[in-house]
Amino acid sequence: MSHPLWEFALAHYARAAVKAACLSAQDRCGADVNLLLYLAWLQRQGLARPRSEWDQLVRELGDCRRAVSAVRRLRRGVSRAADPERAELLAQLRASELSLEQLQLAMIHDWHRQWPASRAEADSLRRQLLWLVPALEGCPELIADLVACLEPVS
């Protein structure tokens, strides 16, 4: 199940600063890392979404997002146990989480093809971050980290 968004997400998330900023936003503010990576992908293409489209996408991904979160919580709980006998279970949970994230990115990519994005305004990245993750409003340093990681390289 390969598509341009999946390939971008794998490559971009592999960068240590991107991973750290995205996971911090996830853990501190409830951000969806896949949506952050989609936003970065849009930015790389000079594209943006109005708030209403982000809201629509989040609604359409509801069940998948809940499944990813549930498996992540379970995986984190098992990994904290540090029991060597749980290593196989932990590996299965990691694989399941990754498969669900890949499915979610495929759903996002399919939705993107149905609803073409428009050209981005110069200041749209910060605004879109706050639409996606309103809790970021109270974390200006995290917003700055995310903008630095997600904005297109000049």
pTM of the model: 0.90
Give 136-148 pLDDT, tens digit per residue: 999 999 999 999 9
Residue 134 has pLDDT above 90, yes or no: yes
Give 31-71 pLDDT, tens digit per residue: 999 999 999 999 999 999 999 999 999 999 999 999 999 99
Q: What is the pLDDT of residue 63?
A: 95
For helices 51-60 and 33-44, give the axis angle rounded to 10 degrees. 140
Give 65-111 pLDDT, tens digit per residue: 999 999 999 988 887 766 777 888 888 999 999 999 999 999 999 99
Reported residue count of the chain is 154
Whether the Cβ atoms of residue 22 and residue 36 lie closer than 8 Å to each other: yes
**Residue 6 CA: distances (Å) to CA of 2, 83, 116, 154:** 6, 33, 18, 22
Count other C-beta atoms under 10 Å from residue 132's C-beta. 23
Q: What is the pLDDT of residue 120?
A: 72
- Find, among 41, 62, 46, the residue nearest to 107 by Cα: 62
Whether the Cβ atoms of residue 79 and residue 90 lie closer than 8 Å to each other: yes
